Structures are given as structure tokens and as C-alpha cells.
Structure 1
């Protein structure tokens, strides 16, 4: 590019120049003709002291800037650098606002040339990146970034990144660049100007399309590569294999191979289960290598019998791991070719037809514009069209709902079908031997409502301890305020110009006989009544929940049971409101369908835009019918399901949900799943309680007499790798208030953190206790030099929080529910695991309460049959976070003294591998921690 670009980075005393925050370091890197031609950096005297956290972040202190020039002294140099240039920065509005303020204060005009933001550019050009921080992008492009948060280093890295982004931009197909240009007017930066120049330059050269790109119906797509089906020689399909043969095969996939006898044992159990058509439970300890333990035998079994095997997981993380790490390893070591595919629910896939219909819509907001640009670039690199590849903003997800793949009535242009991502995934699944999916999609096969999965008889259920919970949600219903409101707003009132308005405009263009349908004005009133009743219903839900909730000080998140035996005016008012809401939903449903009938009767051909509107109306009507069904099931119909309300007292309406789920799903799973399949292998690191599979079999409906049960121990030397400490100077958790307990454990956490130098994961069972502990640690000031990361307080997904925790030496991570499992932090990043309390579900928790009541009604013991085994399984999952490889070492601390003071406490200790247990006062234990770590 012949343009001049000046990449700027600043370090400042804070974030708001208008409030007196000042620049403390200025750096610029000049790019001309595509190469770096000049650099300039200077420390700046801000004429005020530098805050401590800025000093820690940047390494710049008052002493370093006291003899530095004030900004006014370098303005001539800055103006000279920026003359005739694009102003480029990572998050450009931040740097520009500071620069403008300083230039104006120096009595000069500000900078009014074109600006470019490398964050915005990276979001468009790397639509699948994990994150867009400078350090994340530098790591992605292997750029050396040794001094983050120092302006000269940041400017240099941003300049190198910018050159890569420019190259990436220029290499896109010309059609894509032109479409990006048309959209780029709605961006923060002046990308349109730059894109215009690239278009002009490419037009001059006459474009040659890269080999991997094709133009299809006015969009550039990545060409689909069709894998050749290789002829399979039966000689390679011998199984079972001897120990030596397994070693020979598996060895090929590893640089340093270590024989794992547990893994080989698992291979044989899986193969025999399928061969003998037996359901099987396998608890495989950490380090067994269970993914390969089941993938290798099912590959042989599928190939020998020419059928497919479904592998189902609970988390996307494990699906990604199987697809990106385990399956490529399997392909490398197998003596034959195997086809595997990942299959997700339909709405995960993009509808190209819908995307192109909406691409040039007027009046898009910023998020929608950016998302469209991301998708255009992504289409040149994706083979799957799967939303999970994209890094979308919350606004981007709203746009995705408009362009996701759904069953269609009109939009079925046959020409699109050959490039339909969803159909392609289904066809690939039909041809594959191994299909990876998730538990929910696996269960959707039960309902058989045009299931996306090909027919199957053999299943591997990994992360199998989640099956019961997923099945409860699957057989249940849930209704929340935000989703309900979004759905009704999608139709809108006439004057809001949403779907209702579009439908009426369409009708106006068709001569409809008068008097045969509701007038627009009457229908508008119906929508208003519906919105009013929806608000009333959710107000009454909140009122009912508050009335039933005996307020515990400090608790904001509430779960309250809703039963048909509840009496009182609040419940009656709630049910009456639900009935009115259901009637109004039915009336609107009928009125819209009536209009659709009229449109169908008219033989007049419709335009594509009109077909698109009718398509949206059809989908809306289906959703309306489902909403009514959910309302009836949650409030009106007497069912055996457990019903409860979840809400946050601080903002009741927006975060109110009502759920209805069966208390036990064993019978449904037995009849509709296990009896229908020939062999299901369920595996996980946590299936047994006190060395028995009895609890899990009862929960999911498996028969002890006909189910194979196997435990494969972890190869790790736990007794040399882990020590368990139980402090004796903490109060018993049930004898003091929440606040007193939090004060006691916070003192211990501070003491332990200083001994372990951070690297701690604290597992809580309730968010309220986590939040209070976090606030008290912060308030104390004792751990100021530690990075505190807390779920629900620090923003980001579980993966992002975990990654940040690994990034800092002195870090403490506080997690609840989802952090008890699936978090993988190997090596020295995690040296200390603290279990704050034994993970019993609160007895007043609706599902727990209902399960316990049912067990007691049948003459059973709810504590020993349900509460205790459930807590033990979660405790085992928590324990599994600490040791992830055979060289890991760590300590585990249990604050809850019930583990040694009660009879049942022994059951927790018996369910984990035998390890040394030490009890004592915290100061005694800290000495041992010091010497052991």
C-alpha cells in the first residue's frame, strides 16, 4: 500500500482525558509503502503523580518521568509524524481522545485525518479468533511482545499486526472486498476509504481467484473438498488386537510413547460391549487416556460391521478436543481410513440464502454491520458454516437468529441446497462411521421429530455423569421473561414496524374480501393485551416467589417451588393470569394463521422479499404455539413434573424463569433410549460412589444384572503427588452464620495464598458465599499483589477465566458450579485446590426437595440414596481438577470439617484415591505446605 500509516500507542494515568488523566508515554511507528520507515517514543511528564496500579501495569513511575518533557514540548514532532497519514491504534478512540485533548490544550488544532482501529479490523478479518486483545493477537501471529503495556513495545507489535491485517485484507476475493466496502460506512474507523483504494488497485490488475475459493450466487465461498473413499482391505480389520499389536499401532501417534495398560484394557471392554450388544459403564480415572480408549475399538467395530457409532459429549470443549486433537491422532495411527464428523443442532448452521437476503438491509446497527462483515470473511474459510467457530458479540448473536438454518416453507430455492451447510452436515453424517454430537441432540432422537442424527444402535456416552441432568431438562419445559418478551417484540405493534406491520403491508397488496378477518386495529389491540398480560404474569410470578421465600439476609438468587397444592391468593392470581395469557396466545395464533390462509388462497405470485416475510411469520407462529404449550405445562396442567421459579430479587422481572422437570428420568431413559439401542457405553472419571455403580444405574435406568461395570484406575501415583489438609481451627459450617463462616475462611485463604504464592482454585457450592469471600479478600488488602479472578464477578466465559488464571504467576481463581469439573489446568499453574464446603445440594433446592420427598414416600432414605451419593460424585469431580498429568503435584484443603467429624465423611475420602490426610491448626499446616511445595 502506498499510503502512510502512523501506528500510535499511549500509556496514561487513567481512562478519561476530560477528567484530567494525562499521557505518560507516547510511541509512534511509521509505515510507508508497506514497510516500517520510522519510530519515535518518549516518556512524558504528566505533572501529576502516577497511580500505583498504573505503575504496576506499565512499570513507569514518578521518578522516571520527573525530568521528561511535558506533552506540549513534543507536539511539533507529533504533528509532523501525522501529516498526511492514517492514524492507526489498537482501540483507536482511546488513543485519539487523549491526543486530541493534549493538542487542544497546547493551543493547536486536533487531528482530523482518517483513523483505523486494529481491534475492529481484527474482528472482521479474524472472525474465529478467541480474543482481540493485543497480547492474544500477537500470540496468534507469533509476534514477539515482551513488554506489554509499554507504549514503544505495544506500538511496534500493533504496527507488525497491522501489516499482517493489510496483507490479509488485500488477499480477500475482490467480490468480498466490494461487499465489505458497501457495509463499512457504519464502522467506527475510516475503513471505507482504504477499501475503496484496494478495490481500485485490484480492479486494475484483473483478479485471479485463489484455488480454494469459488463464487456462488454473488458470494465468495471456500470450495468444498470431497474426501475420496479409499478401498478398505479387510486384512487391516483384525480385532481384538494383542498387547503387542496395540503398542505398535498407538506408538505411531506419539513422539515419546508410554504404554498405558488401563487404556488398552478399556479398548477391549468397549469392543466386547459392542460385539456382545451389552450396555456398559466404565469409570476411567484421570490419565487413562479414555478418548483413544474408546475411539480405536469403535473405529475397528464400525469398519468391520459397516455401521456408524455415535460419540456423545456434554461440553463443546470435549467435542473440540475430540475433533482437533484425538481424531487426527486416530487417523494417523489406524491402518485404514475412517470418516468422522461433528453434528450439531440445526440452528448452529448458517442459512446462506437468508444471509444474502439480509446482507444489504438498510438501517443496520453497529453490531449487525460488524457481524455481516465477519461472516463475509468467514465464508472464505469455513467448511462447516457452524456458528461456534465465530466469535460474535451479543448483538451479533441477535443477527445470527435471523440467518440461522431453520425448517422453511417458501425459501427452498433448490439451487441453494447444494451449498446448504446443514444438509451437508447431515449428508456427511450419513456417510461417516463416527458421528460426534452432544447429549441433548442424542436425546432428540428419542422424540424422533425429524431428528438430525442418522439411525444408530451403538453409542459412546462420554462425560456420562451428565446424562441424567440433561435428560431432566430435555423432558421438561422452561419459560423466561427475556425470551418471551423478545418473541412477542419480534411481532410487535403495528406502529413499531416489525413483523406485524410487514404482514399488513403484504396483505394490503392482495385484494382480500372485507369483513372476513380481524381488522388491523383489533389485532393491534390483541398484541397490546398480550404484552400487558405477559408483564402481569411475570410480576405475579415474582410476587409469588417473594411471598414463599423466607428471606435469608444476603441472598439474592432465589429458587422457589411451585406446586398445585399451594393455596393462597398469590398462587390463584398467578394461575388466572397464566390462563388469560394462554388464551391471548391462542387468539393471536389463530388470527395470524387466518391471514396466512388468505395469502395462500391468492394465486398471485409473490416476490422473494414477500416470501421472506411469510417465512418469518410461519416460524413466529410455530414459536407462539410452543410458548403456549410451555405456559400450559408450567402453570395450568397438573403434571407429575417438579415446577419451580428462579429469580434475582434485585431485578426480578428480567431474570425470572419458571422450570418444569421430571424428578426422575430413569423410566423414560430405560424405555425410550436404552431398550431401543443395542449397546451404549457410558464413561466418565466419576461414575462410582464408594466403588459402586449402584447410584448412577438407578438414576439413569440401567439394570445391574444386564450391565457390564468396570473401573479402570488412574495410572497416577496420587499418594506421592497429593496431600490433603483439613484445618481444625475453623467453625463447623452449620453452627455459624454465613457471614461468620466467610470471615473465618477468608483469614485461612489469605494465609494459604501467601504460602502457595497463589496458584489456587477455590471451589464454592453457592454464589453468595463466593461473592462475600471475594469482597472480603479485596477489602482486607492483604492480597493486593495477587490477581483475583471470580466467576460471575470477573467478566468472561469459564474458558477465558481459566486462561487468565494461567497467565499470571500470583493468581487465585474462585469458582462455583461449572468449575467443579471440565477445567483443565495442568502443571504448576494450579498447586492448591480448596474445597470450601462439601458439595451437598441445598435441601430446599426444588429438584432436590422433590427427589427426597419421592424417595421417602417409597420408604427409602433420601440422604443415603440421593443427597450423599450426589455430593460424593461432585466432590470427586472437584478433586479431579488438581492432578492432570503424572508430574503434577499439589495440595487439597477441605474447609468443611464434616469430612472428619461425621460418619458419612469417610465415604467422601473412600471415593477418591488413597492419599495422605493431615489435620491441624492452619499455622501448623502452612509449615507443611511450605516445605512440601
Structure 2
């Protein structure tokens, strides 16, 4: 019998029916036979005022509900609609609680017996969705959703989503459905019934797997194929003149515009690769630098039969290169080439471990959902890369169990060898002309060769290289991570790893089993020492802290003086006890694994998966001991070590961090010396028209190189204008709260003039939060949508998308918003820099660098602080103009840009544009006039 679904959405006065909140609008959509049959919608008089924030969120007014029926008056109709149906909602617990509560209050029995949550269902069936919020899913799936947060529109969008998910579920292979049914038995909301009914519906149908799918050991997954490496028989000549480049690209790029700067960069990159010389290229906004380095790289690779590595800082750009720029070149070039994306092995799923976890009977809710979504994902993933998945926090912990983190199992006895995603990605890379990776992977490869041999590298977003290297070479010690690892060893029968190791060992050796209880005791003792260690670290931070702010994490750098205190000596003694127990456990694991490797037994697939997991765990376990020694025990080092915590300095919020002070020598010896040609490019590399600061920071200053600064093709003087208010207080001598009030007042005036469409860049999250709160409370921007990073919910990408959806919106951002976001067109007309982006002098690495520069006899401000801030400032300015038709205003609220000696250096760093200074009252008409000319 066909299921009848009723998709329900309610708008309410609050979050809890039991606490007095009531329904103000309800909509029910009847779905049957894969069709929407009817929709019932009604406003509801809640017989109480509607809170202001609910009015703002939903757009529902008091007038609309005053004359509406009470719930009692519509209860009979709703009861009739719901009877015998499966109750469906997006976050079903919320809607069900209100409907059931209102029906009971009206004297009706509860007709809701079966429920289905489309959040949960989408989580399983749409594993790659960016978000599972209804509004965002509707956008991504292109479902009609005209009025978010109104019940009729929400219910209809949810019904459309349900139909789409039903069709997707019906298209699943029978084997996959069978496993989903088994896993879903432990879930709520009748998920088992949902998949079971679809399985029964398909039971009588003859099924043939799609040609691109295969079944292996009870799991259906996409077939893998290594592309043939076609050797071009024709001579591959790089198009050196402009007409050749235009002819090549204009037929494959829509609205192609010939840009001299792009052609100049292409020639520079090709020269660098072809003559085996390094190069540093600053390419202004609008150059089209991705294509400018990809095209010559492909020609060079095809002509010389050598690989080229392309390294980026962000995952987003890696995939953009593959999905967009590479596709353009494939259509444009007269010969074929191969491209591969390669990441660290922990990014890839280990199918042996995943297969064995499917048989576990006691998985948590998050683990079960993640297993189900991975089964769906395997039907179409070509990479097995976790970055394709939207994982919950619990899902990320589960991924640590099943990722490709160790190779204990000999590949010839691993049944999944031919389906191993990590080995597959390496094989693709071995056959590729271009290998796309990231800075972190590139650095890791310098110490352990994973990437195929290659001596020609392109570094995009090169201004991040120094930071990426520091982070990759750095270490950290976190309470939660240590506890997680101890939990992995476990003391319960279910997780007693040493007991399982002894069982495996007994199959391979006549050596008597070890005394597992001794290891259990060591684990318990180490668990206690972990608590003690992080309590002592927290107390140390609390005693020495100088920052009294309650809105940011505390960072405290360790110096020789602080290490000489009695408090630190107590930390050292505890760390030594920690390492004693850690060493005992390490020896136990190593001894067992060594015996098993010496005499490989015949093991079940489950035992093989366990050993694979333990091998990866053992590597991480050894790293933990190394981190404790290097971070806490006395040693001579140039590394910067610091403690982080919150205002309460609790153990689970306390961590220890370490990064090298400088990486220039490391890069010089390990990277630039070892490669024939490295091309470094970014939009922001020069300071005062020289690459001197950048070259020294990354260690390329002693090598022969090409240096090229290619200006943006945009006529900035016609597109942008700088405004600097002179009636703001001096930033360094004004109390925070007073300064924030002034900033807020100026932002109100600026926002009104620009009609929103404004990005405000801060250097301090505390100042951002206080400004946001002040503007929210003032009600002077009531018609504007205020979005603040770290305050408003959502990721950086989601906040940017929300910002673009509203005509009158203001987006507040800190460090990550100064670069890497792209808001072209009228969505962004006004950019405000609140403070010049100098790094805080108490930030541990910055403080250590400043001391080091001073010790060398140089002025730390001019030699380090100023150049670093200028590069960040250039990045910030680059957010305003993204394409030829853009036009906007650039506000700098920090008067130091015109009053200080160094201020002109900031202005010289950006393209020449007209500047206006004066009181805000004087500037506002000029802003309005400039923007009206758009």
C-alpha cells in the first residue's frame, strides 16, 4: 500500500510548546503516489503577543493573526489530514511537539504515530550537501522556496525535498538499500520503515547495476579507471605571440577578453619553467592568474614530458582549478593532458576498516548516520576524499577510525587493495601532467616523499606559504585529543585493544599472551596524569595571564624566565610522569605489532582492519609522546612555544602550541635548492614596489630568480574612491568602549549613504562583537540585515551567501574576511577598514619575531610589522573591485593612514585612486554622489 505523507511546518512564538510558546501559522502538504495532492495553510491566533524577533524572522504581523482562527477552531481539519499518515517535517521533533500539544489541548487524541525527519533523511541521501538547513538545501537543490520562515513556503519546499529524496532512495541499488535497512534499525523517526518500504517496492524488480558501478564484498561503489596517458605525436609549441594566445582561447572562453597582463604572466611562467629558474610574480586583481600559470604549465609538461605541481592554500581553489580552469584548457588546447588532485592519506577512506565497522552493533547515532551517508557517497565519489562530505562533529571522529592512516596490512592480503582510494589517487598522480595539491601537503612531502618526483612547482596564494609551513612544522597538545586517544585504547571489554592484539599475536606466535591488565593499569594511570597535567597548565596560564578580556582566547608565550618558575617545574614533573606511562604503553603496542609482523598469521577481515587501525593509531601515539617532550621538556630551540586557554583556564580548553620562529632556512635548503623551478604568485607580494620582505621571509632571496610585478588591468581611478573620516578619536589613546561607540556612529552614517552592501573589516574579534551588539541595540539600522563572523551562525561562506541575498546588508568580518572572499557586482559597494591590520604585538609568533628582529639590530616595526600589515591591507582592498564593471567606496577609519609617517606606505601599496578626507558629515554627500554614478 502506498504511504501517505503529510509534510508539516509551523511558525511559533518561541522554541518550546511546554514553556508556553504557541503556533501562529501552520501548513500541511499531503503527498501520495509521489505527487503533491493538496496543501492546507492557516494563520493561527496564539492569543498572546508575537515577540519582535519572531516578527522580524517570519514577517508575520499581529494584524495577520488577530483575525485568524484559534487552533481549537482548526484542530478537527488538521486531525483529519494527519490521521493515518506519516508525519514529515524538517526537524520533526519541533513541529511534532507543537502540533501534538495543540491537538491535545483542543481535546483530540494524537494521530501522529509515524514520523520522518527530512533533515535526517537529507543528511543520509545528500552526503555532499553544503548545509542541511531548509533554506540552504532549497538553494542548492534548486527547489522553489519563495518565503523562507513562513509555514506555507517552508512546508511546500519540504514536500518538494521529500519527493526528491524519495526518488533518490528508489534509485539506490538493492544491495545498498539492504545495508541501509540494517543500519537504520537503531535510528529514530521510522527511518527503518522508510528504507524497508522502498526495498520491498523494488523486491520484484530485475536490477542491473549501472555500467559505472560495481559490487565488491557487499558494497556498491563507483568503478575506478586510470586514464590512458596519451603521448602527443605532434610537436607542442608554446604560443609565444599574442595572436596565437587569443586564437587559442577565444573559442573556448565565453566573453573572452585579451589581457596583456595575463599574456605577460603566461610568458614569465613559461620562461621560468623552461629555463629552470625560480620566479616571483605579483599579479593584480583581474589578471586571471590561474589560467596564466596553468596554460604554460601544461605546454611545458607536454613538451618536456615532466610533471608540474600546482599548490594552493585553500581547498576551494584546488577544486575551482579542477572544475573550471582545467576544463577551459581541455576544451582549448590542441592536445590532451591529465590532471590529478592529491592530498594527505588521512583525507581518503580505508575501505577495509569501513567495511568492518558496518558489522558493529553498538554504534552511536552520529556513527550510524555517517556510515549510511558514506554508503550513498561511494556510489558516485571518484576520489574517496573526506572533503567531499558534510560531516558532523561525531562523523569527523568516526572518520578518524576509517581513514587511510597506516599500512600495516600487506596490500597483497588486503582484499580492498584494488579499490584503495589513496593508492588510486597516487596512481592518477603518476600518470598526470599537472598535480594539484595544497601547501600543507607540499611541506609534508619534503620530509616523506608522497608526491611523484617533480622539480617544477607553481605556488599560488604564495603570501600564505610562510604561514602554511610554520603551521605544518608546528605541533600542538590538546586535552581533548589526548583523552580521545586514551579512549581509543579503552579499558572496557568492547574497546580493550591490548586484549585484541594478544589474540592476533597468539595466532602468529607461541609466545604466551602478555599481561593485559598491566596495560589497563598504565592506561588508567596515564588518564589521571593527563588530568593533572592540563590542570597545572591551566593554573599556570591563570597565574601569569595579563589579558583580562573575557571575549577571546588567552595566549601566553613561554620564555626562559617563565620556565624558571616553580609553577613550571611542577608542570615538568607531571610531564615526565606522563611520559613514563606513555613509554610503557608504547612498548606494549610495539612489541605486539612486531611479533605479529614477524609471523603473519591467518586473520579474519575484521582482525586485519583492526591491525590497520592500530598501526595508524600507533603512529599518532608516538607523535603524542614526541609532542609532550618537545613542547614541555627543557631544550635549546628557536621554536616559539605558547599556551592557550579561555578565561576560566579549564583543562579541556587549555592547549600547548609550538611553531618555528623562521622557516626561510628550511625552505631554502629543502625546497628552493631541491627544485629546478618554483613559481610563486599572489596578488599581494610587494611592499613599496619591492619583493624584498617576501623573498627574505620565505628564503628565496639568495637564489637567482625572475621578479615581475603585473598591474591590474582595471581603471581603479574610475572604479573606486578612498574616504578617510577625520572626526574619529585616535585609536591608540582611546578606551575600547569609547572608540567602539564612535565606530558604530560612523558605520550608521556610512551604511545609510551606501544603502548597505557593506563589508566591515576588523582586526579584533572583541571590537567586532561590541560594534555589532551596539548597532543591533541602537535600532538605527532596523531595516538592515547585520551579519557578523563568530556571532551570527554559519560558516564564512554561508555568511557571504546570506550577505548577497539581501539588498540592505552589512557583513562584519575579521582576519579570514580580509582575503579569499569574492563578492562581485552591486552586492558589495562599500568596504570599511576599521583599523590598519597590524598583528597584535602580544601574539606569540609576532612577539618572538619582533624580539628576533630587534636583537639583529634592525627596527622591528619597519622591518617586520609594517610590511606584514601592508600585505594584509592590500588583500583587504582587493575585496572591493572584483570585475571590470564594479564600482565602490573604500573607507579607512584609522587616521594613522594620513597622520603617521608610515601611513603613505599603505596608500602607495594599492592602485592609485582619488582620496577624500574630512568629517563624516562632509564625506557622506560625496559618497552618495559617487555611488549614484554607477
Bin of the TM-score, shorter chain as denominator length: over 0.9
SS at 1:245 equivalent: helix
Does 2:312 match 1:316? no
Task: Call closer, same or farther: CA 1:258–1:508 in 2, change over 3 Å.
Answer: closer
Looking at structure 2, the residues matched to 196 and 455 of structure 1 have their Cα atoms a distance apart, in angstroms, of 51
Report what 1:584 is aligned to.
581
Report what 1:471 is aligned to.
469
Does structure 1 retain, via aligned residues, the 8 Å contact 2:280–2:705?
A: yes
Task: Call closer, same or farther: CA 1:903–1:180 in 2, change over 3 Å.
Answer: same
Report what 2:664 is aligned to.
666
Does structure 2 retain, via aligned residues, the 8 Å contact 1:27–1:41?
A: yes
SS at 1:875 equivalent: helix
Report what 1:834 is aligned to.
832
Query: Which residues of 2 match residues 219-230 of structure 1 at below 5 A?
Result: 219-230=219-230
Does structure 2 retain, via aligned residues, the 8 Å contact 1:461–1:682?
A: yes
1:550 maps to which of 534, 546, 549: 546
SS at 1:208 equivalent: coil
1:602: Cα distance to partner?
7.3
1:445: Cα distance to partner?
2.1
Does 2:632 match 1:635? yes
SS at 1:886 equivalent: coil
Report what 1:418 is aligned to.
418
2:737 maps to which of 736, 739, 744: 739
Query: Which residues of 2 match residues 802-841 of structure 1 at below 5 A?
Result: 802-841=800-839
Report what 1:354 is aligned to.
353
Task: Call closer, same or farther: CA 1:279–1:600 in 2, change over 3 Å.
Answer: closer
Report what 2:525 is aligned to.
529
Task: Call closer, same or farther: CA 1:620–1:871 in 2, change over 3 Å.
Answer: same
1:672: Cα distance to partner?
0.9
Task: Call closer, same or farther: CA 1:467–1:512 in 2, change over 3 Å.
Answer: same
Looking at structure 1, the residues matched to 324 and 599 of structure 2 have their Cα atoms a distance apart, in angstroms, of 56
Task: Call closer, same or farther: CA 1:87–1:209 in 2, change over 3 Å.
Answer: same
Task: Identify the range of structure 1 (267-276 vs 543-552) with the bigger mean alpha-carbon deviation.
Answer: 543-552
1:231: Cα distance to partner?
4.8
Task: Call closer, same or farther: CA 1:651–1:799 in 2, change over 3 Å.
Answer: farther
Task: Identify the range of structure 1 (129-138 vs 262-271) with the bigger mean alpha-carbon deviation.
Answer: 129-138
Report what 1:342 is aligned to.
341
1:698: Cα distance to partner?
0.6
Does structure 1 retain, via aligned residues, the 8 Å contact 2:533–2:574?
A: yes
Report what 1:234 is aligned to.
234
Report what 1:891 is aligned to.
889
Report what 2:786 is aligned to.
788
Task: Call closer, same or farther: CA 1:328–1:480 in 2, change over 3 Å.
Answer: same
Does structure 1 retain, via aligned residues, the 8 Å contact 2:726–2:920?
A: yes
Looking at structure 2, the residues matched to 507 and 910 of structure 1 have their Cα atoms a distance apart, in angstroms, of 69
1:271: Cα distance to partner?
0.4
2:724 maps to which of 721, 726, 746: 726
Report what 1:33 is aligned to.
33
Looking at structure 2, the residues matched to 548 and 85 of structure 1 have their Cα atoms a distance apart, in angstroms, of 63
1:67: Cα distance to partner?
2.5
Query: Which residues of 2 match residues 239-258 of structure 1 at below 5 A?
Result: 239-258=238-257
SS at 2:111 equivalent: coil
Question: Residue deviations 1:695-723, cap 9 Å, x none?
Answer: 00111111367111001101111111111
Task: Identify the range of structure 1 (245-254 vs 678-687) with the bigger mean alpha-carbon deviation.
Answer: 245-254
Looking at structure 1, the residues matched to 498 and 777 of structure 2 have their Cα atoms a distance apart, in angstroms, of 53
Report what 1:159 is aligned to.
159
Question: Residue deviations 1:462-502, cap 9 Å, x none?
Answer: 00001111112233322222222211222133578443454
Report what 1:178 is aligned to.
178
Task: Call closer, same or farther: CA 1:410–1:834 in 2, change over 3 Å.
Answer: same
Does structure 1 retain, via aligned residues, the 8 Å contact 2:8–2:28?
A: yes
Report what 2:556 is aligned to.
560
SS at 1:470 equivalent: helix
SS at 2:139 equivalent: helix
Looking at structure 1, the residues matched to 873 and 733 of structure 2 have their Cα atoms a distance apart, in angstroms, of 22
Does structure 2 retain, via aligned residues, the 8 Å contact 1:5–1:85?
A: yes
Looking at structure 1, the residues matched to 117 and 550 of structure 2 have their Cα atoms a distance apart, in angstroms, of 44
Looking at structure 1, the residues matched to 84 and 548 of structure 2 have their Cα atoms a distance apart, in angstroms, of 64
Equivalenced residue count is 928
Task: Identify the range of structure 1 (732-741 vs 432-441) with the bigger mean alpha-carbon deviation.
Answer: 732-741
Report what 1:573 is aligned to.
570
Does structure 2 retain, via aligned residues, the 8 Å contact 1:852–1:866?
A: yes
1:344: Cα distance to partner?
0.7
Does 2:143 match 1:143? yes
1:44: Cα distance to partner?
1.8
Does structure 2 retain, via aligned residues, the 8 Å contact 1:346–1:452?
A: no
Question: Residue deviations 1:598-618, cap 9 Å, x none?
Answer: 656777644333333333333
Question: Residue deviations 1:168-220, cap 9 Å, x none?
Answer: 11011011111111111222321222322222221212222223221122111
Report what 1:283 is aligned to.
282
Structure 2 gaps of 5+ residues are none
SS at 1:885 equivalent: coil
Looking at structure 2, the residues matched to 195 and 411 of structure 1 have their Cα atoms a distance apart, in angstroms, of 37
Looking at structure 1, the residues matched to 256 and 597 of structure 2 have their Cα atoms a distance apart, in angstroms, of 67
Structure 1 gaps of 5+ residues are none
Does structure 1 retain, via aligned residues, the 8 Å contact 2:85–2:112?
A: no
Looking at structure 2, the residues matched to 500 and 817 of structure 1 have their Cα atoms a distance apart, in angstroms, of 45
Does structure 1 retain, via aligned residues, the 8 Å contact 2:498–2:589?
A: no
Task: Identify the range of structure 1 (477-486 vs 330-339) with the bigger mean alpha-carbon deviation.
Answer: 477-486
TM-score (norm 1): 0.96
Looking at structure 1, the residues matched to 20 and 445 of structure 2 have their Cα atoms a distance apart, in angstroms, of 62
Looking at structure 2, the residues matched to 416 and 613 of structure 1 have their Cα atoms a distance apart, in angstroms, of 14
Looking at structure 2, the residues matched to 782 and 154 of structure 1 have their Cα atoms a distance apart, in angstroms, of 30
Looking at structure 2, the residues matched to 20 and 67 of structure 1 have their Cα atoms a distance apart, in angstroms, of 21
Question: Residue deviations 1:362-417, cap 9 Å, x none?
Answer: 11111111111100011111111111111111111111111111222137434411
2:677 maps to which of 676, 679, 682: 679
Task: Identify the range of structure 1 (134-143 vs 727-736) with the bigger mean alpha-carbon deviation.
Answer: 134-143
Looking at structure 2, the residues matched to 731 and 123 of structure 1 have their Cα atoms a distance apart, in angstroms, of 50
SS at 1:204 equivalent: coil
Does structure 2 retain, via aligned residues, the 8 Å contact 1:353–1:416?
A: yes
1:508: Cα distance to partner?
8.7
Does 2:708 match 1:696? no
Does structure 1 retain, via aligned residues, the 8 Å contact 2:768–2:812?
A: yes
Looking at structure 1, the residues matched to 332 and 787 of structure 2 have their Cα atoms a distance apart, in angstroms, of 41
1:877 maps to which of 875, 878, 882: 875
Report what 1:617 is aligned to.
614
Looking at structure 2, the residues matched to 243 and 789 of structure 1 have their Cα atoms a distance apart, in angstroms, of 45
1:679: Cα distance to partner?
0.4
Does structure 1 retain, via aligned residues, the 8 Å contact 2:353–2:612?
A: no
Looking at structure 2, the residues matched to 39 and 617 of structure 1 have their Cα atoms a distance apart, in angstroms, of 55
Looking at structure 2, the residues matched to 663 and 511 of structure 1 have their Cα atoms a distance apart, in angstroms, of 49
RMSD: 2.1
